[in-house]
């Protein structure tokens, strides 16, 4: 009897948890789109979105894998350590090339209902003052595109 009640309570808790996770509003693939006119464009530098240290970790794991294929016994252990260190150094150097800031634009758009919206995004040479545009998405995912 206790096991049946426990099973029912667990099922109810699972159903409530899954129901709470379901967010109302736009479904997958849908996004908010607003219209407006560009009032200001300011050139900016956008920081790289690369996570620091990922290159070293990936390089180290790759070096470890390659080092494990070499030799046997103590020689193999030494090859694994050297491969890990060498791979980490090489991966770090490769990642430095992708850590550079990229050119971007801070775009101020006056929407059709009069609200000013600021969007910072990678540079788009097709955008200019007075141009009618769409603002796709919201928050950090917002983008300004030509109408």
In tens, the pLDDT along 18-58 reads: 555 554 545 566 667 899 999 999 999 887 655 667 777 78
In tens, the pLDDT along 85-132 reads: 888 888 777 777 766 788 899 999 999 999 999 999 999 999 999 999
Indicate if the pLDDT at residue 5 is higher than 80. Answer: no
pLDDT confidence of residue 93 = 79
Q: Indicate the pLDDT class of residue 146, thresholds 50, 70 and 90.
A: very high
> What CA–CA distance (Å, rounded) separates 71 from 82?
13
List domains and CATH numbers for the chain. 25-47+101-146 (2.40.50.590), 54-96 (no CATH)
Question: CB 67: neighbour CB atoms within 10 A?
Answer: 21
Q: Which two tokens stand for residue 108?
A: 């101020």
- Find where tokens 């979105």 sit: 49
């Amino acid at each position: 009897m206790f096991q049946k009640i426990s099973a029912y309570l667990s099922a109810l808790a699972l159903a409530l948890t899954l129901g709470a996770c379901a967010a109302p509003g736009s479904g997958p693939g849908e996004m908010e789109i607003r219209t407006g006119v560009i009032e200001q464009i300011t050139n900016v530098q956008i920081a790289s979105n690369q996570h620091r240290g990922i290159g070293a970790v990936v390089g180290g794991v790759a070096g470890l894998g390659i080092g494990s294929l070499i030799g046997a016994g103590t020689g193999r252990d030494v090859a694994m350590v050297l491969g890990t260190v060498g791979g980490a150094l090489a991966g770090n150097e490769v990642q430095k090339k992708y850590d550079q800031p990229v050119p971007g634009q801070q775009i101020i758009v006056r929407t059709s209902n009069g609200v000013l919206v600021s969007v910072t995004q990678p540079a788009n040479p097709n955008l200019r003052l007075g141009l009618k545009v769409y603002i796709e998405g919201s928050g950090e995912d917002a983008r300004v595109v030509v109408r």
